[in-house]
Chain A
Amino acid sequence: MYTYERPKVEYKGLSLTIVRLATKWGGIGIPLALRFAWGIFLAAIVIVVAFVWVVGRFINPLLPWFIRDLVIVVGMLGFLSVVAIIGIWAERKVSGRIQSRLGPMRSGAWHGWAQSLADGLKFVQKEDVIPSAADQPLFRLAPYVTLVPAFCAYLALPFGVGWVFRDGDVSLLFVLAMLALEVLGVIMAGWASNSKWSLYGAMREACQLVSYEIPMGLSLLAAVLAVGSLSLTQLGQAQAGGWFSWLIFQNPFVFLAFFTYYIASLASCKRAPFDLPEGESELVAGFHTEYSGFRFVMFFFAEYAGMFAVSALATIIFLGGWHSPVGGPSSPLWFVLKSTFLVWTQMWVRWTLPRIRIDQVMHACVKYLLPLTLLLFVGSSWWQLMDSPFHPVFAGFANVLHYGLGVVGLLLVGLYFAEVGYGYYNRNRLVGPMVRRHLPGA
């Protein structure tokens, strides 16, 4: 009988060697560090506190605050890198599973978890190519102009009560402004590359972003009207108390505004079906065609940071922020969980829907999304006027509708989980496992 022997593949290259060494020594080092984790953690806290006390007492009283800010900024950068690294790996796994493939499996021990790290190492070793016809200073500047605003958006995002770097009256607008600044880097990159593919990508990005910014802002405003504050902390705190007090179920206009916001945010993150600026099948790689090495990585980081930022905005404004759906204690973990779910939905949409044409993108915005969000905005403000003790009949109706919308939301979530369960139960009927079962040696 024929037995299938798995061919032995020798992996070569510095990056894979480094990853293999890291996983090998990490396998010894990480459990050791975990065993003494609490000790290390407490010792670090004691050392930092002692250092800050000495500095504040004897050197400069303002310096501890500066050090605190520095530590938070560095931590935030770390969080952003983790989001991007896990996001890129997850995107490939999700795309693989949706297309009935396995996705990355080799780097690292478990399901190719180190794939992004290996890629990062590879990119660092790449030559930093700058085309001779490119506009040098702008070409070099563009990745920073894309990444830095995406990072700045996180400075005003609250992860929970008190879990925010700088809390302000207008933090919602600040986050939106920073996300709008990100466009600039993309346009700069596309223009400075001096390549027609890049320029097409940049022009698509410019017209798409400027159009979709308006429905995005207006649908957020429809929800903001119900609270009457532009501070993200207050918006989140206004939704304490479980599922039915989330802003999305407040009235039907806000319920629809969540979906219009979600569509517009897909466009603002250049995610499919609106990923025309990148357009791999038509524009090579769109605005970052000419970029290589670490500059290319920075565009990727900015994209994943932006994805998480818009999902975080949706979480804070519509989905109850850091409050748990069942009314338990609120925690930043809930916030991260809900935002991650929205990021996963973005990936799901990307690998499900085909890309639409640029004229369809503009028609969808100007003819349908923009009038709809204007209507939602007016409707939401009208609802705020009517839903008052002066109109008892309407207030009763609004209350009934509010709970009805909550039940609709519950049904949607239930449907999602039912479908997930159905898919898991019938996973062997998918094409991939069916093919794999008939392979020799299976």
Chain B
Amino acid sequence: MLEMTMFFLFAFLSVAAGVAILLSTNIVRMAFWLITMLVAVAGLYFLMGAYFLGVIQILVYVGGVAVLLVFGVMLTSRRLAPTLRPGRGEAVWLTLVGAVLLVGLVLSTLQAHWQQQVAPAANSAADIGRSLLGDFLGPFELASVLLLVAMLGAAYLARPKTPTQGLPHTKGTTP
């Protein structure tokens, strides 16, 4: 009973926050709604007993990614609160893509043969670590290479556009 209540609380919160992301026009508000959704999903993980996953969700997504997102938004926007509204052409495309995605998700959920049995949960950090460095070593390494490429790309994009000699804050920007 209590579990059910908590499930519906978290599920409602995540869905409502997801809808709120779509409906709000202020980009920083959107970011905070996104954070609400991520925390609610972490609550669902806790409810399922996957404590490690829930904690990592908060630590990485909320504490790292979302904070960086808000930081980036605040740093790049000229005014403090730019409003975002899609144009008419954009709206048509977005509706189409969204509809296809929704239909696909609903169909795959209905078609799937759900197994009504308790899966052996990889709850502890040790289990997850063993499978990451054992069965799933290949995908794990590929993901780390992908992240490295993304980091190099970000550093390339963020490099100073004018050639400088030495560090900019020590020698100035004269070539």
Q: Is the CB of B64 within 8 A of A184?
A: no
User: B67 near A169 (CB under 8 angstroms)?
Assistant: no
| A-contact bits for B29-65, CB 8 A (1 contact / 0 none) | 1001001000100000000000110011011001110
Does A410 touch B at the CB level, under 8 Å?
no
**Interface residue B124 (Cβ < 8 Å from any Cβ of A):** yes
Q: How far is the CA of A174 from the CA of B124 in the complex (A)?
A: 13
Contacts of B32 in A (CB 8 A): 138, 188
Interface residues of A in 164-214 (CB under 8 A from B): 168-170, 173-174, 176-178, 180-181, 183-184, 187-188, 191, 194, 199, 202-203, 206-207, 209-210, 213
Q: Which of A173, A202, A210 contacts B68 (CB 8 A)?
A: A210
- Cβ A206 vs Cβ B70 within 8 A: yes
Main secondary structure of the interface of A (DSSP, over half): helix
Contact A177–B124 (Cβ < 8 Å): no
| Chain A hits for B59, CB < 8 A | 173, 176-177, 180
Determine whether the beta carbon of B125 is less than 8 Å from that of A170: yes
Residue B66 lies at the interface, judged by CB distance under 8 Å to chain A: yes
Q: Is B88 part of the contact surface with A, judged by Cβ < 8 Å?
A: no
CB distance from B70 to the nearest CB of A (A): 6
Query: What is the bound-complex CA distance between A187 and B69, given in angstroms?
Result: 11
Q: Which of A176, A178, A209 contacts B67 (CB 8 A)?
A: A209
The answer to whether A230 has its CB under 8 Å from any CB of chain B is yes
Cα distance A173–B39 in the bound complex, in angstroms:
15
Closest CB of chain A to B159's CB: distance in Å?
A: 15
**In the complex, which residues of chain B have a beta carbon less than 8 angstroms from the beta carbon of A209?**
67
- Taking the complex as formed, is A359 at the interface, i.e. its CB lies under 8 A from any CB of chain B? yes
With contacts A169-B123, A173-B56, A191-B74 taken as known, whether A213 is within 8 angstroms of B63 at the C-beta atoms is yes
By a CB distance below 8 angstroms, the chain B residues around A176 are 59
Residues of chain B within 8 A of A169, CB atoms compared: 51-52, 123-125
Residue of A nearest to B55 (CB): A173
Which residues of chain A come closer than 8 Å to B75, judged between CB atoms? 203
Task: State which residues 115-163 of B face A: CB under 8 Å.
Answer: 123-125
Complex alpha-carbon distance, A23 and B56, angstroms: 48
Chain B minimum-CB-distance residue to A214 = B64
CB proximity to A under 8 Å, residues B80-104: 80-81
- Are B55 and A170 in contact (CB-based, < 8 A)? yes
- Asked if B71 lies at the interface with its beta carbon under 8 angstroms from chain A, I say yes
Question: Which residues in A have their C-beta under 8 angstroms from that of B124?
Answer: 169
Contacts of A170 in B (CB 8 A): 51-52, 55, 125
Task: Report the separation of the CA atoms of residues A199 and B81 in the bound assembly, to the nearest whole angstrom.
Answer: 12
**Please, how many angstroms separate the alpha-carbon atoms of A198 and B124 in the complex?**
41
Quick check: B63 and A177 within 8 Å, CB to CB?
yes
> Is B169 in the interface zone, CB < 8 Å from A?
yes
Total interface residues on B, using CB and 8 Å? 27
Complex contact B125–A191 (CB within 8 A): no
The residue from B52, B63, B74, B125 contacting A202, defined by CB atoms under 8 A apart: B74
- The distance in angstroms between the C-alpha atoms of A202 and B75, with both chains bound, is 11
Q: Which residues of A are found within 8 Å of B21, using beta-carbon distances?
A: none
Query: Is the Cβ of A199 less than 8 Å from the Cβ of B71?
Result: no
A184 touches B67 (CB 8 A): yes
Residues B51 and A210 in contact, CB atoms below 8 Å apart: no
In Å, the complex CA distance between A188 and B66 comes to 12
B17 within 8 A of A: no
**Chain A hits for B66, CB < 8 A:** 184
A341 to B67, CA, bound (A): 32
Asked if A199 and B74 make an inter-chain contact with CB atoms under 8 angstroms apart, the answer reads yes
Min C-beta distance of B144 to chain A, whole Å: 14
Closest Cβ neighbor of A187 among chain B residues: B70
Most buried by A among B39, B66, B70, B81: B70
Min Cβ gap A1→B in Å is 62
Quote the shortest CB–CB distance from A406 to chain B (angstroms). Answer: 29
Known contacts A169-B52, A170-B125, A180-B59; A206 and B64 CB within 8 A of each other = no
CA A90 – CA B71 in complex, angstroms? 34
Q: Is the Cβ of B58 less than 8 Å from the Cβ of A181? A: yes
Residues in A117-173 with C-beta less than 8 Å from chain B: 135, 138, 168-170, 173
List residues of chain B with CB within 8 A of the CB of A199. Answer: 74, 80
The residue of chain A having its C-beta at the shortest distance from the C-beta of B39 within the complex is A181
Is A206 a contact partner of B71 (Cβ separation < 8 A)?
Answer: yes
Question: CA of A209 to CA of B70 in the docked complex: distance in angstroms?
Answer: 13
Residue of chain A at shortest CB distance from B65: A210
User: A359 and B62: CB pair below 8 A?
Assistant: no
Which of B55, B58, B124, B169 is packed against the most chain A CB atoms within 10 Å?
A: B55
Specify the chain B residue showing the minimal Cβ separation from A196.
B80
Q: Are A187 and B80 in contact (CB under 8 A)?
A: no
User: Hey, which chain B residues are within 8 Å of A184, CB to CB?
Assistant: 35, 62-63, 66-67
Q: List 27 A-B contacts (CB under 8 A).
A: A135-B81, A138-B29, A138-B32, A168-B51, A169-B52, A173-B52, A174-B55, A176-B59, A177-B56, A177-B62, A180-B58, A180-B59, A180-B64, A181-B58, A181-B62, A181-B63, A183-B63, A184-B66, A188-B32, A191-B80, A199-B74, A202-B74, A203-B74, A206-B71, A213-B63, A213-B64, A359-B169
Q: Which B positions have Cβ atoms within 8 angstroms of A? A: 28-29, 32, 35, 39, 51-52, 55-56, 58-59, 62-64, 66-68, 70-71, 74-75, 80-81, 123-125, 169
Given A170-B55, A184-B35, A210-B71; 15 other pairs, CB 8 A cutoff: A169-B51, A169-B124, A169-B125, A173-B125, A177-B55, A177-B56, A177-B62, A177-B63, A178-B58, A180-B59, A181-B58, A184-B63, A187-B67, A187-B71, A199-B80
List the 9 closest pairs (A to B, CB-CB), nearest first.
A180-B63, A177-B58, A206-B71, A177-B59, A173-B55, A177-B55, A170-B52, A174-B55, A170-B55
